[in-house]
Structure 1
Amino acid sequence: MRRIFALFLLTLSLSCSSDDSDNDLPPDPYILEAIIGSWAYDQVTVNGEVFLYEHTEGCDKDLFQFYNQEGKEFDFEERYVSNCDICAECALTATNLKWQLNGDIIKLFFGEQLVTELQILEVDETQMRYYREFDIDDDGQIDEVKITSVPYDPYDEFD
């Protein structure tokens, strides 16, 4: 499952959406504040089947971060271990995008190109859950994917 999910993470930066809705909602003020921070993947639910996210032992956990501060206005960063076969060092891959919140939908952009949308299901100080439709196993069928994450800030970037 980790390899399948790693594909999900990688294609997050490669997949594109053609939905250019002009009916953008104002951001949900609670979500706008609550998502700011660093989050580690915890559980993945694919079409109703729940999997614990398997982090690479001995490495920092795979994570994603929402920034909105001077110098990092609406920046999104994702870091995950991309290669570690019983190694002394963990090879990290990072994806950097811009984000925009419309209602409870986070739109992620590479430049002006919409990459994907995430629907926030819930967020508080203990967890964030979001939903995304995605062909996670490349079988030609769109899968319903829910991600549960927990606060995790190994670099002390957030208060």
Structure 2
Amino acid sequence: MQCVNLHKGARRTFDVTELHGAEPEGGGPNPFPTPGAEYRHRLARGEFALPACGDCERVHYPPRVLCPYCGATALSWRQLSGLGTVYSASVLVPREGESYCVALIDLDEGPRLMSNVVGVSPSGVEIGDRVRVVIAEAGDEMVPMFRQERR
């Protein structure tokens, strides 16, 4: 299947079957049908990594087949430090169960993602707090959550 990339006025044609995520370790065909599938596979292995563009060198989230900044297709997976800063935080109070914190985290490598801050009272999370990723089980998959760094 052929696709045309019109990102920022650049017209490039490429084969979509080649664009199912960043190049796998060791080269060869990528066994994952989507970049999201590879992301989840890496989390299941305890690895916190995201695609990085080979052209503009920016890391992006969520994983995609094209760089959202420059439209390039030359992507590779980059292991992240797991450190970030709380950009925004909300306490959710369900009818049943305990309250929890949902936060937007600005990763040191650039992307912003939504996650939970765990291991602390939900009301104890403040904008500007430094956090570190912990990969935790949620249902039947592994997800990135965050813990506050010591103050």
Same fold (TM over 0.5): no
Q: Using structure 2 for the length normalisation, give the TM-score.
A: 0.28
Bigger RCO (CA 8 Å, 6+ sep): 1
Q: Using structure 1 for the length normalisation, give the TM-score.
A: 0.27
